[in-house]
Amino acid sequence: MKRILRLSRLPDLFIPAALLGASALGQPKGAALFFACLTAHALLSLFAGQALRVCFAAQPSLRGVRGSVKLTLLLQAAALPVALLIARFTRLNEISALWAYLCAGCLYNIEHTFYEYLDALGDRHGAALCEGISALLLMTGLCLTGGPDGTGSGLQPLWLIAFSALSALIAAAAGLVSGAFSKGKVNAKVLSASPRAALQTLLYPAAFVPTLFLPLGCGASVAFFGGLALYALCRTPFRRSPSESSPMNRGLALICAACALLSALSHLTGFLKPAQETNIYAGFNLTYACLALALAALCAFALYGNISKAER
């Protein structure tokens, strides 16, 4: 297991786990809408926040790192009004409290930027602590916020914004306290990593979308975020080398085999019956969960796995 996690960062699991928790606690629509807004804001900011990890891997100078972070923050600040304007002039604005989820998505992308910055500085404990606090605040904010179906009072979306702002402030404070943040000129190197970051960010969600049309009943949100957690754990800036990929490949193959076996056994034993009876509790479907995990494993292998035997 240690070899499988060698290049992985455990804090990458925290936000997907928070969204999984919010879905399991009765906010599946809110968690799904938040993730959609988070991804939409990342798209409008050219995936700069997600590209930082790729950029930092090839950018040894701390001055260059700080310059990339500055450009990322500028892009993220500019993306929010664009997102709000797009929502205002389209029918998307009819979704209840969409503005709150868009603002929260922006704030969590800013938090992620400082999380990557702290990790690049070598302060992995500080980065993990900030990400853990942010995950707890996110799950709390989603649980206190009225759902996107219009439930709840008009003040409830402010909880999500308040907790999102607090998480961004904590991460920003931790990053700025590290010192010398003002050094380093703004540079556009992060933009060269944006295409790779876009592929890494969108592959699993795009692959999951067709499953929404399958007759699997409910449980899509919980299944999706469970798969997202696995996908995030495997993420690295670039494809792993053969020696680094080998234990990950075996782990992913084992997960796929276990998912197939669980699904087969559940059907043979009659555990999975009509859609209404497939739930261990509201929002969970074993077939959906197995499908999402297997799909996430395949996407992770496609991007980060390596079957070559020769080291480069």
Rounded CA separation 14/17 (Å) = 5
pLDDT at 84 over 90: yes
Report how far Cα 295 is from the mean position of its chain's Cα atoms.
16
Distance, CA of 9 to chain centre:
13
Q: What are the structure tokens assigned to 47, written together? A: 């995936």
**Calpha distance 163→274 (Å, rounded):** 39
Structure-model confidence comparison of residues 106 and 92, the more confident one: 106
Number of other CB atoms surrounding residue 82 within 10 Å: 13
What CA–CA distance (Å, rounded) separates 29 from 149?
8
Please name which of 8, 19, 76 lies closest in space to residue 47, comparing C-alpha atoms. Answer: 76
CA atoms within 13 A on the CB side of 282: 6
pTM: 0.90
Indicate if the pLDDT at residue 271 is higher than 80: no
pLDDT winner (highest mean) among 9-18, 82-91, 258-267: 9-18
At residue 177, the pLDDT reads 87
Q: How many CB atoms lie within 10 A of CB 306?
A: 18
269 has a pLDDT exceeding 80: no
Environment class of residue 186 by beta-carbon count within 10 Å: exposed (0-12), middle (13-18) or buried (19+)? Answer: middle
pLDDT at 163: 96
- What's the mean pLDDT when you consider all of the chain? 86
* pLDDT band with cut points at 50, 70 and 90 for residue 206: very high
Evaluated on CA atoms 90, 94, 99, 104, the torsion sign reads negative
**72 pLDDT more than 50:** yes
Segment 27-31 shows an average pLDDT of: 90
Q: For residue 115, give both structure tokens.
A: 């999380």
Angular region, 282: left φ>0, alpha ψ -120 to 50, beta rest: beta
Distance CA 291, CA 268 (A): 17
Q: Compute CA distances 132 → 158, 183, 262, 267, 305, whole Å.
A: 21, 28, 31, 38, 27
Q: What is the pLDDT of residue 96?
A: 78
On the question of pLDDT at 15 being above 90, the answer is yes
Rg (CA), the chain: 20
Question: How confident is the model at residue 270, as a pLDDT?
Answer: 54
Burial (0-12, 13-18, 19+ Cβ within 10 Å), 175? buried
113-137 tens-digit pLDDT: 999 999 988 889 999 999 999 999 9
H-only helix segments in 121-241: 124-144, 157-177, 189-192, 194-208, 220-234
Q: Residue 113 and residue 56: Cα distance in Å, rounded?
A: 12
Residue 168 corresponds to which tokens in the numbers above?
């961004």
Q: Lowest mean pLDDT: which of 8-22, 142-156, 169-183, 250-264?
A: 142-156
Alpha carbons 201 and 205: distance in angstroms, whole number: 8
- pLDDT score at 291: 93
pLDDT tens string 164-200:
999 999 999 999 887 677 787 888 889 999 999 999 9
pLDDT at 147: 57
User: What percentage of the chain exceeds 90 in pLDDT?
Assistant: 56
Model confidence at 31: pLDDT above 70: yes
